[in-house]
Structure 1
Amino acid sequence: MRRTVFNEDHEAFREMVRDFIAKEVVPSFHEWEEAGAVPRAMYRRLGELGIFGTDIPEEYGGAGQHGFRYQAVFLEETQYACVSFGGYSGHNVVMPYLLSLGTEEQKQRWLPGCVSGELMTAVAMTEPGTGSDLSGIQTSAKLSEDGTHWVLNGAKTFITGGSQADLVLVVCRTSPATAEDRRAGLSILCVDTTSEGFAVGRKLQKIGVHASDTAELSFSDVRVPAANLLGEAGKAFSYLTRNLAHERLVFAVNGVASARAALRLAVDYTKDRKVFGKSVASFQNTKFVLAECAAEIEAAQAMVDKAIELHSAREFTAEDAAKAKLFCTETAGRVIDKCLQLHGGYGYIREYPIARLYADTRVSRVYGGTSEIMKIVIARSLGL
């Protein structure tokens, strides 16, 4: 089906991104996976190409292109090439927080470096004992007696880009929860990772997304300047709810694009692979499976494109995001599994891109809110 969400400028940007990935990323991507992280120089390269901060206003170093379309193009081309950019996703999630919640001084201080790739960021919500239930956050911060600093203590885990970040947005408790609202009292502190008492723990070994550094972080009496409070104290939960819609749209776009990449790989492989003297693609079962995959992808693509339009019109709700993330990531899981099956034993060999897609996609139904949490959000919107 012909897509109408992108114009000529977006497609020109797509050609640039596609050429860049083919020439500068694909040849060395296996080295990134072995290292467990993307080279810092590559983030600066993304900044040079204008890939960071396309929707950040020009006064802060961005391109000033409102909306999600340019980011969607980059995400799609990344998945089509079966590569990833490590802390890129976390970094791109942080910038909307800074733009929407930051003071003018904070935006001038941080956003230009974010856009150039000189200042890499991460957001730290999840804790060892607290996943989707943010109201259970134990990391805490108390204001010093003179009111100049917050003193931060606690630990975070599963932090994308955590070992390479220069600035981490830490969700912490600055006042007790109330009986009426367990989510009250949460705040966001922007923590300089060179601060005394900040430490990066283990880099976690994952079954997929190997080029992305995922780390444990700890805070021991870290003194955070009062000027690094993002937004108002005690209102973080409402900020997170609002900005999670953007993050979940990222996962939806990635899901559809990865499924489309898997379908292309399966079509090419089954045309070339011979069994019993015939190509695998010539068997009716293969044709039916791939036809089902193609139809599912088109349905998910239609949802994503509508979501992109709503996001650009500032009409994309938390419920919309939950539906898009749930449907598109679950679809990607089904499609990629079927496409791997058609590769036979070779589909389980890491040198084949389908194996990377299979391992990388599994986490999309967990992070950013599990599929089960998405169902709860949707059910609430139905009055249930």
Structure 2
Amino acid sequence: MASAKLFTLEQVNQHNKEGDLWLVVNNDVYDLSSFADMHPGGAGVLLAADIAGQDCSTAFFSLHRSEVLTKYARLKIGRLDTPSPAPYPILQPGELSPVPYAEPDWLNPSFRSPYYNDTHRSLQRAVRKFFDEEVKAEARVHELSGERPSKELVELMGTPQWALHQMRMGPGKHLAGLTLPGGVKGEQFDYFHELVVIQELCRLGAPGYMAGLQAGQIIGLPPVLNFGTPAMQKRVLPDIFAAKKFISLAISEPHAGSDVQGIQTSAKLSEDGKHWIVSGMKKWITKGVFLPFVRLNGSSDLPRLAPRSGYFSDYFMTAVRTGPKSLSMMLIERDDTVETRKIRTSYSSAAGTAYVFFEGTKVPVENVLGGEGNGLKVILSNFNHERWVICCRIARYSRLMFEETWKWAHLRKSQGKRLIDQPVVRNKLAKMIYKIDMGQAWLENVTYQMTHMSYADQSALLAGPMALLKTFLSRSAGEISDDCVQIWGGRGITQGGMGALIEQFQRTYKFDSILGGSEEVLADLGVRQAMKRMPRAVL
């Protein structure tokens, strides 16, 4: 590869007028002569005396994210002839962040952890590079446009080389015989490996897109793995792991919410006894529907979404009432009697949130998971893992918001001082740090217990601690979001620009405080679980 052309700063200084405009950002030289009029802030910004023909790195990074440099890489014509390193180091794909507290302690080479070994570290390096190179750009774009994850990407994630869909289901026989990224054997895979995959994916900073990227599988597929017959597993699992077909969990309903006792969707046995006939409605179903979008006149405006039709999940893991006091879980395959409609939420439409309607849908009796009337058992067995995944997610998103805010506090100046030089700002950052590290430490302790318990023991012993952990993390996320917005000011409530991830987090963090059980419900569950263990003798 030919070396970049070198320019002195004096040469750049000569190109400082309309039609002949150069500038330097991070030691790279850009020719903006033909771009100035297209600049979103207008040509006048670029023609300012301290910008045109100058090294404007500080001004650039006070207004723009580094992704802008990638977007306009075509305008780069060379590099500054200087031995000095770039003033604002930009991470390469796969690299760890040098920002203090931006990475959990186990990734700090100077620290030690009793939980992680070389297989976790090799997996982390491999999946971070993959997410940075293959997923990050699409995630950020689709988070705004509302497009579903691309077919090519989800299929790549499902190839034996990456097996990411399998890994996101946790340890189990579905990984047997596989060699996973970083050379990890499927039989070595534990919940800490799964934690690594979840938290690396969260670094993309696209929560709605991530929900659409197989979140339905994570909560909808475990009943097939744990209660499905061998025949069902053989028929369903390969296509889902290869991203040829998709599944959603369908429990919540408009009237019942997540109260499974209030479920009204019902089924009657057919006259021949071979099928259940299902009728009813589900709501807030993640990944239930992805709608096509049309660009208006070829512009870059946000998409206009059709009200109906489009891409649907192929399977729905559905809670159905099969009698007045009988709740069952069924695997329902989409056909003409299943309809889905988009729900608009504060999440990105990339999540595919939907209504699901069953209108006389025929379901083979063998598609009942765990036996008729055992639906509650199947549902409750699913909750712990779902809540744990949410905990992993909240912990990493909160850390990402801290990293963004820490960097901003060092860049932004107010009244002649950097924000980081203000005691009130440092106090807010300190509170973020201890909440984030407390949450990660508690999460890792719970994860360690999971690695030494059966699925049944996890449900019995960890339901309370998991509920309290999720409550703590979601409450902390709300407080962290508030402090981040106060530090970012107007940029923290503006879509796009430097504070885009802060605005996005402030708008969407509440999802994780509701999904899998609200804070109030889970706090009560945690205390009630502890009450059951309270011995009479100490009263």
User: Could you say which TM-score interval applies, normalised by the shorter chain?
Assistant: over 0.9
Partner of residue 182, structure 1? none
Whole-angstrom CA distance in 1 between matches of 2:254 and 2:232 = 30
Q: How does 1:1-384 map to 2 (within 5 A)?
A: 1-2=105-106, 3-33=113-143, 34-48=145-159, 49-54=162-167, 55-58=171-174, 63-83=186-206, 84-87=209-212, 88-163=214-289, 164-177=312-325, 185-193=326-334, 195-201=335-341, 203-314=342-453, 315-316=457-458, 317-351=462-496, 352-383=500-531
* DSSP 3-state at the match of 1:25: helix
Q: 1:18 to 1:41 in 2, by over 3 A?
A: same
State the shift of 1:204 in Å.
1.3
Identity of aligned residues (%): 26
Aligned length: 375
Question: Is there any run of 5+ residues in structure 2 with no aligned partner, and where?
Answer: 1-104, 107-112, 179-185, 290-311, 533-539
Give 1 or 2: higher helix fraction. 1
Q: 1:170 to 1:113 in 2, by over 3 A?
A: same
State the shift of 1:246 in Å.
0.5
Whole-angstrom CA distance in 2 between matches of 1:132 and 1:18 = 34
CA contact (8 A) 1:114 1:121 kept: yes
State the shift of 1:154 in Å.
0.2
Whole-angstrom CA distance in 2 between matches of 1:111 and 1:69 = 23
Q: Which string of whole-angstrom CA distances, capped at 9 and with x for unpartnered residues, describes residues 127-151 of structure 1?
A: 1111131100000111112111110
Letter aligned with residue 24 of structure 1: E
Whole-angstrom CA distance in 1 between matches of 2:282 and 2:439 = 33
Letter aligned with residue 305 of structure 1: E
Whole-angstrom CA distance in 1 between matches of 2:173 and 2:220 = 15
TM-score by length of 1: 0.92
Whole-angstrom CA distance in 1 between matches of 2:518 and 2:152 = 33
* DSSP 3-state at the match of 2:211: coil
Question: Is there any run of 5+ residues in structure 1 with no aligned partner, and where?
Answer: 178-184
Letter aligned with residue 414 of structure 2: V
Letter aligned with residue 271 of structure 2: E
State the shift of 1:29 in Å.
2.4
* DSSP 3-state at the match of 2:225: helix
CA contact (8 A) 1:251 1:329 kept: no
State the shift of 1:30 in Å.
3.9
TM-score by length of 2: 0.67
Whole-angstrom CA distance in 2 between matches of 1:209 and 1:306 = 32
- Which has the greater radius of gyration? 2
Q: Which string of whole-angstrom CA distances, capped at 9 and with x for unpartnered residues, describes residues 82-131 of structure 1?
A: 12423322211223221111111111111222222222111100011111
CA contact (8 A) 1:76 1:257 kept: yes
Whole-angstrom CA distance in 2 between matches of 1:237 and 1:66 = 29
State the shift of 1:333 in Å.
1.6
Whole-angstrom CA distance in 2 between matches of 1:210 and 1:337 = 24
* DSSP 3-state at the match of 1:168: strand
State the shift of 1:243 in Å.
1.3
Runs of 4 or more consecutive aligned structure 1 residues displaced over 3 Å after TM superposition: 1-4, 58-67
Whole-angstrom CA distance in 1 between matches of 2:130 and 2:155 = 14
Q: 1:273 to 1:252 in 2, by over 3 A?
A: same
Whole-angstrom CA distance in 2 between matches of 1:42 and 1:141 = 37
279-288 or 12-21, larger mean C-alpha shift: 12-21
State the shift of 1:59 in Å.
7.6
Q: 1:101 to 1:31 in 2, by over 3 A?
A: same
Whole-angstrom CA distance in 2 between matches of 1:215 and 1:224 = 21
Q: 1:271 to 1:327 in 2, by over 3 A?
A: same
* DSSP 3-state at the match of 2:317: strand
Letter aligned with residue 85 of structure 1: M
* DSSP 3-state at the match of 2:351: coil
State the shift of 1:347 in Å.
0.9
79-88 or 62-71, larger mean C-alpha shift: 62-71
Partner of residue 180, structure 1? none
Q: Which string of whole-angstrom CA distances, capped at 9 and with x for unpartnered residues, describes residues 289-326 of structure 1?
A: 10111011111111110121122222432112211211
Q: Which string of whole-angstrom CA distances, capped at 9 and with x for unpartnered residues, describes residues 167-194 of structure 1?
A: 11010101112xxxxxxx111110111x
* DSSP 3-state at the match of 2:531: coil
Q: 1:131 to 1:65 in 2, by over 3 A?
A: farther
* DSSP 3-state at the match of 2:354: strand
State the shift of 1:235 in Å.
0.9
Partner of residue 110, structure 2? none
Whole-angstrom CA distance in 1 between matches of 2:349 and 2:482 = 19
